[in-house]
Structure 1
Amino acid sequence: MQDKRKLLDQPLHGIYIPIGLLLFGTWLFSWSYMPYTIAFIVIVFSIRYYGALKRRTSIDKNIWRDFELIDKTLIAPMTSIYRFKLYRDDEVLDIPTGHHLACCFTINGKDEVRFYSPISNQFDAGFFDILVKHYEMGKVTRKLAQLQIGQTAKFRGFVGNLNYRPGMAKEIGLIAGGTGITPILQVITRVITNLEDDTKLKLIYGNETEKDILLKNEIDEIAAKYPNFNVHYTVTYPDPEWDGSKGYINREMIEQYGPEVSDENMLFICGPPEMKRNLFALTQEMGWKQDNVFCF
């Protein structure tokens, strides 16, 4: 059923019909008032146009726009959070769950584009955050690392295929490796901030070392506050005092710490390409249907 409250947002009902009625009414009443009617129309719709410009979102799907860097924080070896200013202080980045922003730098005359998932939530106004792991040969990450406060980077978006809906699954197993935690965090945030979404979330998060676990304090805090969210960590090269799982994410970990194989449950996987390929093949061996497994 169509929402009648949105009719005035459509050009037909919000612009063309009102203008036509005003002009027709003036013509019936007296032609002498036509200049005043036209002046009134110009004023009213100039105000509406100005209001529409002010409400326009900062991020455009097709146009690259410059965003000012206002803060950057090193949170792990070679990993930083970059905060960029939106065009309005009261604007929040209304990004679909699990989607990404495209970031572009022109390097040696060629546009280099990489994709990053904002980790700021739908209540953060005036800015957005991206988490970036730097690589020695990474062209875009090197440019971001050299960016100074007050300088700008180009973004556009959003990009992604996940169509998350509250209640789309009874339980969702979230499997992340390294910076693959960023779109997974979007899912977690969207679920825990929606009082009507009672989806149970089970996160398995793999990294090379304990120091590489990104945003661990924040994730642990969420797990402590929300009973429907559980997290389990594994590291490939553990310290002697590490008491979590060791090694790559495997079948035993998914069976023990993830949801059971069921048409009511789903798995979301994000990490390096080889990890996603291996884990997707593993889920098929475990009996998961393809439609119940989503790889970012």
Structure 2
Amino acid sequence: MSLATIGTALAPSALLIAGVYAIKPEFIAYAIAVAGILAGYLVFSNKPRKVLNPTEFQNFVLKEKNEISHNVAIYRFALPRSTDILGLPIGQHISLAATIAGQPKEVVRSYTPISSDNEAGYFDLLVKAYPQGNISKYLTDLKIGDNMKVRGPKGAMVYTPNMCRHIGMISGGTGITPMLQVIKAIIRNRPRNGGNDTTKVDLIFANVNPEDILLKDQLEELEKEDDGFRVYYVLNNAPEGWTGGVGFVTPDMIKERLPAPAADVKIFLCGPPPMVSAMKKSTEALGYTKARPVSKLEDQVFCF
């Protein structure tokens, strides 16, 4: 809590005490008690409120929509108060629900916000619309002012500073969203920023075409800012002069670009199911612990 917040709360309390003392000194004890209650209310009413509910869906209003490409957009949803935060642990995600025509029951899908609790009053979702994607198509049709049902947090991953020495990440397409959440948290908590996180991060980010590389500007800025973070891009259809990887992510790429298996190393995977399945086999063949069907926090290879 900032000194400014405390000062703002104490100022009216001090004026109340001074005023009562000047007019009715005998009531000073009551004035002090009331002033204390007032100060406490003002201090804690300004404290960020976590709004997520893990058991019940809540409606959040679409505030902005920023189209990145013909089928990708960033959706900004407003929280009830400008000081509210989602209350989403780093590495976890939220559930979105909607009633879709032709579906027998409500459709629920998981998404990872690209914003964090450092940004109050809203949360951002990066969503790619797929032809068969019920929720992604539903989001595409939302108008500013429409509601979206949200529940959370959920997920087995809760990132904490220095939980390991080195993280290797492999993501494809929109699978970059949980990776970005963790990367930003690590860099935000570096010693130079007043934190203590010294974790190194290497990311392999695979896509089909150059225009499919989501959030590339953000990733490049983070790489410039932090010498403990590196990105290696892989494209199926690489243009002439491309200096990154070409084709699918191979065991050789993993061996060259990511940390070798060790007790203080973790590998994070997120992307299309066929890619994740292939990466599980590749990492196991390279000596990392075999990924479980459902990942646990303590796993060396963790699939979001």
Compute the TM-score of the two structures, normalised by the length of structure 2.
0.78
1 CA distance for matches of 2:123 and 2:235?
A: 29
Counterpart position of 2:214: 214
Q: Which runs of 4+ in 1 moved over 3 A?
A: none
Q: Quote the residue 1:15 is aligned against.
A: none
Which residue number in structure 1 is paired with residue 287 of structure 2? 287
Paired residues for 1:1-16 under 5 Å:
none
Deviations 1:153-194 (Å, cap 9, x if unpaired)?
Answer: 110101111132221211100111100000111110111111
Residue of structure 1 equivalent to 2:22: none
How many pairs were matched up?
Answer: 250
State the AA in 1 paired with 2:166: E
Is contact 1:102-1:115 (8 Å) kept? Answer: yes
Computed over aligned residues only, the root mean square deviation of the Cα atoms, in angstroms, reads 2.0
Aligned mates of 1:250, 1:125 — CA distance in 2: 40
SS of 1:256's equivalent in the other structure is helix
Task: State the AA in 1 paired with 2:226.
Answer: Y
Q: Does 1:170 align with 2:176?
A: no
Q: Is the 8 A contact 1:236 1:248 kept in 2?
A: yes
1:61-91 per-position Cα deviation (integer Å, ceiling 9, x unaligned): 1111110001111113411110000111012
SS of the residue corresponding to residue 68 of structure 2 reads: strand
Counterpart for residue 88 of structure 2: 95
Cα gap change, 1:178/1:55 in structure 2, threshold over 3 Å: closer, same or farther?
closer
Q: Is the 8 A contact 1:202 1:229 kept in 2?
A: yes
Partner of 1:181: 176
Structure 2: how far apart are the matches of 1:169 and 1:58? Answer: 30
Q: CA deviation at 1:136?
A: 1.3
Give 5+ residue unaligned stretches, structure 1: 1-39
Does the Cα contact within 8 Å between 2:52 and 2:87 map onto a contact in 1?
Answer: no
Matching residue of 2:147: 152
Q: Is the 8 A contact 2:202 2:231 kept in 1?
A: yes
- Cα deviation per residue 1:227-256 (whole Å; 9 max; x = unaligned)? 110111000111223221101111111111
What displacement does 1:262 show?
Answer: 1.4
- Asked whether the 8 Å contact 2:51–2:87 carries over to 1, the reply is no
Matches within 5 A, 1:1-296: 56-108=49-101, 110-194=105-189, 195-290=195-290, 291-296=299-304
Q: Distance in 2 between matches of 1:55 and 1:265?
A: 34
Distance 1:197 1:94 in 2: 21
C-alpha distance in 2, partners of 1:165/1:188?
12
Decide whether the 8 Å contact of 1:77 with 1:211 is kept in 2: no
DSSP 3-state at the match of 2:116: coil
Range 80-89 or range 163-172, more displaced: 163-172
Q: Does the 8 Å contact 1:223/1:231 carry over to 2?
A: yes
- Percent identity between matched residues is 38
Q: Determine if contact 1:209/1:235 at 8 Å carries over to the other structure.
A: yes
Q: CA deviation at 1:55?
A: 6.3
Aligned to 1:36: none
Where in structure 2 are there 5+ consecutive unaligned residues? 1-32, 190-194, 291-298
Native 8 Å contact 2:60 2:78 kept in 1: yes
> What is the CA-CA distance between 1:56 and the residue it aligns to?
4.8
Q: 2:59 & 2:158 partners in 1: Cα distance?
A: 28
Residue 58 to residue 122, structure 1, CA distance change in 2 (3 Å): closer
Give the secondary structure class of the aligned counterpart of 1:95: coil
- TM-aligned CA deviation for residue 206 of structure 1: 0.2
CA distance in 2, matches of 1:147, 1:93: 21
Task: Please tell me whether the aligned partners of residues 88 and 116 of structure 2 are also in contact (alpha carbons under 8 angstroms).
Answer: no
- Contact 2:81–2:121 (Cα < 8 Å) also in 1: yes
